[in-house]
Amino acid sequence: MSQANYPAQFRYSTEHEWVDAPSPSAATVGITDHAQHALGDIVFVDLPRVGTAVEAGKPCGSVESVKAVSEIFSPVTGEVTEVNATLAEHPEIVNQDPHVKGWMIKVSLAAGGVPSELMTAAQYQELLKQEGS
Amino acid sequence: MSNQDIKKARRHLTQNEGLIFEGSSPGKVGVEMPPLDVPALDPARALGAQLVRDEIAGFPEVSEMEVVRHFTRLSTWNYGVDLGAYLLGSCTMKYNPKINEVVARLEGIGNAHPYQPENLSQGCLRIMKHLADALLEIVGMDAITLQPAAGAHGEMTGLLLIRAYLESKGNARRKVLVPDSAHGTNPASAYQVGYQTQNLPSNARGTVDLAVLDRMMNEDVAALMLTNPNTLGVFDDQIVEIAEIVHSRGGLIYMDGANLNALLGVSRPGDFGIDVLHLNLHKTFSTPHGGGGPGAGPVAVKKHLEPFLPIPRVRENADGTLGLDFDQPKTVGRVRAFYGNYGMLVRALAFILANGSDGLRQVTDDAVLNSRYVRKGLEDYYELPYPAPTLHECVFSDKRQLKNGVRTGDIAKRLIDYGFHPYTVSFPLIVPGALMIEPTESESKQELDLLIDALQCIAREAETEPETVLNAPHTTRVGRMDEVQAARKPILRWKP
């Protein structure tokens, strides 16, 4: 399995989403390199609309690959301020560059910011190791 | 001399066949109609202009014989269970006995009309009654509807019954629990009926985690949808405890009967706490599956759900004749025109009667034996992610082959070269890179030995010459499809 680079400033969920929140009020969310790899070639990304309220741990969209449709679980609580519209036409970007160009939604975070139970890059990679990948 | 240079002699059956549109030449017709012997009528005046269609652009113009040859050639490219083993796990692609087809075409059955009066339909009604009674005995339930047209339709019907029952108790509740090993249709059906679904994670054995169920099962949960044996082929032997937890909090248990082929004559869902289940006649009871079937997904229930079953229901009159009962005030209504896919009901009954009770038990014994034989033959070659004993199907993963970049989809394509229909790939979702194999009772030891040999060969190829597997199939008329591009940018019709 490829040695992916998991950015240290991100936080990660057990459902294999990442969060990048340079400030406590706004975050960018996507799926991890491990997730895109496990899904295989992604053919469709279904994202929430701008203005949708998302809740940590609850589904907020889905990713369809040639194998299956998987839900995207929002790792944070807040309101969607922007979605990556490029993915509608070019879902393959999620496979090619999951942590940068393949971002999915931007969220203005509710009070409390990024949930503290999310993992660091090191903890996430430890989880992947335990899951046998 | 290349193939293109051969003009006169062609080996037609090995040629690549173009689309019928491409064989079109302007003005060519298949049938010449005789001249009208009545005055011509303007259809726009007779029917209204909005119902009259202009010329259909690009419609192929070919002769009758060209049509016949085109489709006959295409038909020779098919693969079906009449050609060899059809291993799709969870689909129970068993042989469809030809006697079923004969019976379904008998004059009084094949030519019966759904509007025929009841007194002229006694035979057809008797078949429905006979089948209903037989299925109820097999699954240990109290009442049944034969209407649903397929498994997922049965799921939807069953959940409608659960909703109606709970509503009659004052609260339809909001959620349905679905294990993460379930068929994708389960959550979809629950959603169709207005329930939210909650994913129930499996334990390390691949079965229900009782502690998690205990935590998630509350007064807001209408039902647990369970497949038993589950999609790993593992029978959940905690089923009695599971039923106790769900029932004690006022919920119901729906069983997806997709894997009933593992239980015939051995264990009855009605005896282990199931409230509602659907059966797939096109799986367990040998009616055609795939190619449009059509399917049939009867739904069996316990007594407390009977008042809600779809109408009409077959009723036995005091004089012993049969009739149709539409007077069921609590019914959820019709779920299908007339009486369901009737021809399939006939075939299923033919299968049940031809086997008898001993024979049905033998079906399950042989299906389980075949699956275990395949599992044993492949254990040393493919990773077995859940080692629990399995019944009618077994699930491997591509973990060992992945070292060489070979995935389950590649192995499946290569298996086509060996003359088999692939197994189910990438399902169930709890197994990354799943190879799900269900041989059914139909296959002989000889065929299974060929299959095991083929999959062993492919495992060796994955080690020594992975390219052969990665580029498969090599022997088909059409090579590897670009599935990704087909999903991203589908071209759904031919355009001139």
**Every domain of chain A and the residues it spans:** 3-111
Q: What is residue B421's DSSP assignment?
A: B
Q: DSSP of B453-493, one letter per residue?
A: HHHHHHHHHHHH-HHHHHT---SSSS----HHHHHHS---S
Closest CA to B230 of B204, B266, B251, B255: B255
Q: Which of A66, A72, A73 to mutate to test the interface with B (most CBs of B within 10 A)?
A: A66
The DSSP symbol for B34 reads: P
A89: closest chain B residue by CA: B488
User: Taking Cα atoms as reference points, which of B386, B457, B449 lies closest to residue B417?
Assistant: B457
What is the spatial order of strands in the sheet that B394-397 belongs to?
Answer: B394-397, B434-437, B424-425
B425 vs A: CB within 8 A: yes
Q: Which residue of B has its CA nearest to A67?
A: B426
Phi and psi, residue A30, nearest 5°: -155, -175
Is residue A67 within 8 angstroms of chain B, CB to CB? Answer: yes
- List the CATH code of the domain at B98-354: 3.40.640.10
pLDDT of residue B407: 95
Domain with CATH 3.40.640.10 in chain B: 98-354
Give the angle B73-B446-B77 at the CA atoms, nearest 5°: 10
Report the chain A residue with the minimal C-alpha distance to residue B432. Answer: A38
What integer pLDDT is reported at residue A2 of this predicted model? 46
Nearest to B488 among A40, A67, A91 (CB): A91
Instruction: Give A-chain residues touching B184 at CB under 8 angstroms.
Output: 68-69
Residue A4, chain B, CB below 8 Å: the answer is no
- For residue A132, pLDDT over 80 is answered with no
State the count of interchain CB pairs (< 8 A) between A and B. Answer: 26
H-only helix segments in A20-80: 33-39
Identify the closest residue of chain A to B405 by CA–CA distance.
Answer: A1
Compute the nearest-CA separation of B404 from chain A (Å).
10
Give which of A1, A39, A43 to mutate to test B binding, by max B Cβ within 10 Å: A43
Beta bridge partners of A30: A18
Three-state DSSP state, B279: strand
Q: What is the CATH number of domain B356-488?
A: 3.90.1150.10
Neighbours of B136 (CB within 10 A): 18
CB B398 within 8 A of CB B407: yes
Please report the residues numbered 93 through 132 in chain A whose beta carbons come closer than 8 angstroms to any beta carbon of chain B.
none
Q: Does A133 touch chain B (CB under 8 A)?
A: yes
Which of B409, B425, B488 lies at the smallest CB-CB distance from A43?
B488
> In sequence order, which residues have a C-beta less than 8 Å from that of residue B411 and are 6 or more positions away?
B398, B401, B435, B455, B458, B462, B469
**Which residues, at least 6 apart from B260, have a Cβ–Cβ distance to it below 8 Å?**
B139, B279, B280, B283, B284
* Residues of chain A positioned with their CB less than 8 A from the CB of B429: 68
Q: Which residues pair with A23 in a beta bridge?
A: A26
Q: What is the pLDDT of residues A69-102, one digit of tens each?
A: 888 999 999 999 999 999 999 999 999 999 999 9
Three-class SS of residue B244? helix
pLDDT digits (tens, 9 = 90+) for B113-161: 999 999 999 999 999 999 999 999 999 999 999 999 999 999 999 999 9
Residue B110 contacts A, CB cutoff 8 Å: no
| B432 Cβ under 8 Å from any chain A Cβ | yes
Residue B157 Cα, gap to closest chain A Cα (Å): 24
* Cα–Cα distance measured from residue B462 to residue B381, given in angstroms and rounded to the nearest whole number: 11
Residue of B nearest to A64 (CA): B487
Residues in chain B with pLDDT < 50?
1
Q: Give CA separation, B462 vs A45, B255, B377, B452, in Å.
A: 32, 39, 17, 15
Q: What is the CATH number of domain A3-111?
A: 2.40.50.100
| Residue found under tokens 């334990």 | B203
Give A22 to chain B, closest Cα distance, Å: 32
| Predicted confidence (pLDDT) per residue in A27-77, tens digit | 999 999 999 998 889 999 999 999 999 999 999 999 999 888 888 999 999
Short-list A20, A13, A56, CA closest to A35:
A13
Interchain CB distance below 8 Å, A43 and B427: no
Residue range B309-352, pLDDT digits in tens:
999 999 999 999 999 999 999 999 999 999 999 999 999 999 99
DSSP letter, residue B304 = G
B184 contact A CB<8A: yes
Query: B484 vs A66: CB contact, 8 Å cut-off?
Result: yes
Cα separation, A35 vs B237, whole angstroms: 33
CB A19 within 8 A of CB A75: yes
CB-nearest to B432 from A38, A44, A69 is A38
Interface test with A, best of B484, B485, B489 (most A CBs within 10 A): B484
Rounded to whole angstroms, the Cα distance separating B48 from B277 reads 49
pLDDT at B11: 54
> Which part of chain B has CATH 3.90.1150.10?
356-488
Distance CA A4, CA B138 (A): 53
Residues of A in contact with B483 (CB under 8 A): 41, 66
Do the chains contact at B426 and A67, CB–CB below 8 Å? yes
Q: Do B426 and A38 touch (CB under 8 A)?
A: no
